[in-house]
Each structure stands twice: as C-alpha cells, then as structure tokens.
Amino acid sequence: MTLTLLDIYNSVASQAWSMFDDEVDTEAEFENTLISSINKALSDLWCSTDFNFRRKTEEILLMEGEQGYPLPDGNLVPRNIDGKKGFAVSIDGKYLEYVKKDPKFSDETGTPRCFSIDNSNIYFYPVPDKFYEVNADYYTLSVGSDENGKSLYSLKNDTDTIDIPEKLEELFKNALITKTMLYAIASEHDENYSNYKKQFETAYKLLLKYSAGITPERKVVF
C-alpha cells in the first residue's frame, strides 16, 4: 500500500461535515479548501517531532579546494561529540567537530576535522585537499514524492505519495485525517470539533508509540 493524496482526500471527504455546508459554494472551492487543509495538517504533523522515519543520510561529495556545500533539506541530527554539542556529520565513520565560526586554521588544506553552518550552506575545515565522502544525517522536511520520484514539500496531484514506512501508514493516515478535520472545521465551537480533537490526540499518541525505532534505508547523493 502507498499513501497518496487521493487516499487522504477521499478519506477526509467521507468524514462528518458541518462547516462546509454553509461556507463552500462550488465543488472546485470545496476541493481547494480540502487540499489546503490536508497540506496544513500534513506540515504540522510531519514537523511536530523528529520521527525516525524522517531521518535520512545524505552523502556530500567534497572536492579538492571546495569548502562550502548546500545543506541537506532539513535539520542535522544532533549528537554529542566528545562532550560537546555536535551533529551526525562524519568522514569514514569519524564525526567532525561543529564550530560556530571559522577556526584559526580555516585556510589550511587537508582532511576536514570540523565544519560550520552559515545560512543554507555547510563549510568544512581544513579545506579538502582531495575527494572525500561526508555522511550527514538529517531530519528531512520533504513529506513525500511525485510519480517521478521528485521530493515534495506539499501534495498537489492525486498520485503524490507520503514518505511513510508501510507498517505505519494506517496510523499516520488516522492522525492526518483527524488533524485535517480540525483545520477544515476551524471553529472550536463546531459540534464536531471536540470529537475530532480527541480522535487526533489518540491517533497521534499511537503514531508516536509505534514509530519509535523505525528508520528508512535511504541515501541521497549530492
């Protein structure tokens, strides 16, 4: 089973409604409003915590003389390195030290021993003196992919899929549907709002419980 936008849309559209009856006049308006609610709920749910299934490893290929490279599309995984705050960025299994600014030896060349982050780039020190492979673990912001495998940050087409391990699809779907209903209904005074809120809280707790320890095997090469 693959969880698609069409699956979510049909499931949400079949739920008990009350707010749309008075405020949406056309089928197209209903569809646009519903897809918007789905994407808002998906973004909230996806970024609500560092789910293990969001954890990816990107290979950054360092070239001789090139110091700066684009960061992965999310947050680097934090890791304690020799008692200091660090991140899971390594060369040949050895974690690099994280520094907040350029070290004194920033102009030297050799095997990188540390790195810094500036906006959307990551910089390595010393400057690479040859080709190196860096593994950077991160929590992706990409929620899924289209039919061509392109990463997506929101769902637009029926066949767009959510990047969830198969064993968690039903749990994630239940949480997403009920969260979507909270956005779709909008008003806390609506007769259905409190019921969907309780359903979401239950579904989310189950998702948190059973998602622990599930990590996908996926690498992105830059």
Q: Where are the domains of the chain?
A: 5-47+142-216, 55-139
Q: What is the average pLDDT score of the chain?
A: 88
pLDDT tens-digit series, residues 151-200 = 999 999 999 999 999 999 999 999 999 999 999 887 777 778 899 999 99
Q: What percent of the chain has pLDDT over 70?
A: 88
Q: In this structure, are residues 99 and 81 in contact, taking their beta carbons and an 8 Å threshold?
A: no
pLDDT tens-digit series, residues 27-69 = 566 688 889 999 999 999 999 999 999 999 999 999 999 999 9
Residue 64 confidence (pLDDT): 97
Q: In this structure, are residues 112 and 106 in contact, taking their beta carbons and an 8 Å threshold?
A: no
Residue 162 confidence (pLDDT): 97
- The closest alpha carbon to 146, from 137, 138, 154, 136, belongs to 154
Q: How many residues does the chain have?
A: 222
